[in-house]
Amino acid sequence: MEKMKFKAESQRLLDMMINSIYTNREIFMRELISNASDAIDKRYYKEAEDGCTGKSRDDYEIRIAADKDARTLTISDNGIGMSKEELENNLGIIANSGSLKFKAENSESMKDVDVIGQFGVGFYSAFMVAKKIQVISKTYGSDQAYIWESEGAEGFTIDKAERANIGTDIIIYLRDDTEDDKYSEFLEEFRIRGIIKRYSDYIRYPIVMNVTKERQKPASEEEMNADDYKPEYETYTEDEKLNSMVPLWKMQKSEITEEQYSDFYKKTYMAWSNPLKVVHTNVEGVISYDALLFVPSEVPYNYYNKDFKPGLQLYSNGVLIMDKCEDLLPSYFGFISGLVDSPDLSLNISREMLQQDRQLRAIAQRLEKKLLQTFEEMRDKEREKYEKFFDNFGIQLKYGVYDKFGADKDKLKDLLLYYSSTTDNMTTLKDYVSRMTEDQKYIYYAAGESKGKIKMMPQMDFFEDKGYEVLYCTDNIDEFAFMAMREYDGKEFKNISDKDLGFEKTEEEVKAQADKNEAAKNTLDAIKDALGNKVSSVILSTRLKNHPVCFATSDGVSIEMEKILKAQAAMSGNKELSGVEADKVLELNGDLPFFDAIKKAVEAGDSDKVSDYANLLYDQALVLEGMPVEDPLAFGERICKLMK
Ligand code: ADP
Ligand code: MG
């Protein structure tokens, strides 16, 4: 019997396998079971080709046997088998293994064994747990079986052997247990069950194991009625199928009930409530895949935690190859759970290669499109449901608009909803624009902490009078998203606090306004002097009706944005952000009596009084904007002074 050496590449991978302190060792079973399933596929088609009819898939099986005394785990199949040459060639080299190629090109990262974590390297992965492997195989169309044997690095031997039927046994001699590594776990029934459920549940041939069970010994009626009757138990063994075989996503949509979807969703993705929406697609063509996606009806409990990992499960032909594949979804759909199964993806690819995988990218693009379509449809046909969805996840879409310098804004802009001053329900931008009055140039919005607070903003009266609808922006991201969008349907966005609201004014109006300002000039100047740098200017308002005071800001940073940036600066310690300030213009209502009071104080040269009044007005404007009063003590004192 001659001893053969592994090919150089295989040798390298083997060393890596043997020496890896590998956390995901269990995947070796997935690899061997997948090989068995592939081998059965090959035989099934071969027999069909050869005109051997009458056989069904049920005639094939994959069998697992654990022998605790011998410390062996055997995986058998009645698939196509391997000839002597095939044993030598297929198990002696690694056939185009993607992982290995990747590894070979990046030998520096060879130590980073986790790269193979998610993606197996096929047969060799068994050396992570085995000190010796025997493969006994008889190939289709041959009478002679062969045994391949290897203890790893040393090479392998091939010899004649006995095997009754066509097929293959892979016998793994588990390594000895050590303090840290308990290889014998792979002999435990519950562990084997667990691994198969996790990775190989949807292999389409039965994975069978002879399991030991316990049952009550049968007893006669008489015995059972006796006072001292104690049931006796006996053990027996029975073949049990460990996999469910048909994946839900491979079934006909028409055959699946809503309940089945919900059960699957809750069980697989640990959700408490039924999904809000299920998207199930089977695509066949240049690239084929099945996808089963779930939109949660609630925000996942850990969604805003660091430990929340977005991503879809990735299957290759029913075999799980990755649990959280982030590349399958754009980040703004990170709340969606589900899976993709594609026969076009190879098992043997590393995570790094997967990221660049063209097929994967093509699938991701289609999923994105499909989801966008789904939400558009929901928006138009199931509005209530859509609003519920938007309540939970709309903010993610807004981030999506803002993210990547607005690269995705056109895909998402029509999915956004806002409350507004003239509608009870949320509105789309499209509907807003359709309601715009003829003379309205901008899409107006107001930013604040809550709907209630926005409604009370002094600036709002004016828009009500004008009959202009105002969108309510209560999410921090809102204004930034508008900035990223810049315009919708050719209409720019305008904060109702903007200094320039862009109204057309008649010549008379302009003149009347100028005259008014001129008449009030001394008073306004005195107030500006009293406030110094706190405001950039003080003017008479054209938009205030019942309220005495408000701030206006010029293009760029609004007061709400200043608040948000300051809060972010405080959290992140970013000094640059804390320096960002809105350019505040103090607008006063010259038609209210308080203005005369200041005017009189200015005329009387009572600079203390002017300063107090000016500061009180300024503080009032701050409070109305939901900003903290800068000096609460001084504020209190001024109020008390007034009361005297
Ligand atoms: P891959 O499955 O990606 O080809 P593997 O290392 O898992 O890589 O397997 C190498 C080759 O060994 C397979 O392509 C197949 O030809 C052969 N092989 C492995 N296991 C079996 C089996 N149970 N029955 C028949 N052939 C097998
Ligand atoms: Mg394989």
Q: 373-416, pLDDT tens digit by residue?
A: 999 999 999 999 999 999 999 999 999 999 988 999 999 999 99
Determine what percent of the chain is predicted with pLDDT higher than 90.
55
Residue 401 and residue 354 in one domain: no
Measured in Å, residue 7 CA sits from the centre of ligand 2 at: 18
CATH number at residue 331: 3.30.230.80
Question: Would you say residue 218 lies in a domain?
Answer: no
CATH number for 610: 1.20.120.790
- Which ligand 1 atom is nearest residue 35's CA? 20
> 153 near 132, Cβ under 8 Å?
no
Residue ID of nearest Cα to ligand 1 atom 10: 90
Q: 402-438: string of b/e by CB count within 10 Å (b at 16+)?
A: bbeebebbebbbebbbbbbbeeeebbbbeebbeebee
Please tell me whether residues 487 and 462 are part of one structural domain: yes
Read off the pLDDT of residues 285-327 as tens digits, 9 standing for 90 and up: 888 999 999 999 999 888 888 888 999 999 888 888 888 999 8
Average pLDDT over residues 236-243: 94
**What's the CA gap between 29 and 584, in Å, rounded?**
67
Q: Which two tokens stand for residue 117?
A: 């974590």
Residues less than 5 Å from ion ligand 2, measured at CB: 35, 122
Mutation to probe ligand 1, out of 38, 41, 61 (largest number of atoms < 8 A from CB) = 38
* Same domain? 252 vs 339: yes
What is the Cα–Cα distance from 639 to 641, expressed in whole angstroms?
5
Residue 466: CATH number of its domain:
3.40.50.11260
Q: Domain check: are 337 and 391 in the same one? A: no
Q: Model confidence over 477-512: pLDDT tens digits?
A: 999 999 999 999 999 999 999 888 878 778 888 888
Q: In this predicted model, what pLDDT tens digit does every residue of 506-531 receive, in sequence order? A: 888 888 888 888 889 999 999 999 99
343-371 residue pLDDT tens: 877 655 555 555 557 888 899 999 999 99
The residue range of the domain holding 376 is: 248-381
Mutate to test the pocket of ligand 1, among 17, 32, 123, 163 (most ligand atoms within 8 A of CB): 123
Decide if 211 contacts 189 (C-beta within 8 A): yes
Q: Are 336 and 417 contained in the same domain?
A: no
Strands 156-161 and 145-150: antiparallel
Please tell me the distance between residue 103's alpha carbon and the centre of ligand 1 in angstroms: 20
Q: In what order do the strands lie in the sheet with 145-150?
A: 3-4, 156-161, 145-150, 130-138, 167-174, 72-77, 62-67, 207-216, 233-241
pTM of the model: 0.72
Which residues have C-beta atoms less than 6 Å from ligand 1? 31, 35-36, 39, 77, 79-82, 90-91, 95, 122-123, 168, 348
DSSP assignment letter at 295: E
Q: Are residues 59 and 74 in the same domain?
A: yes
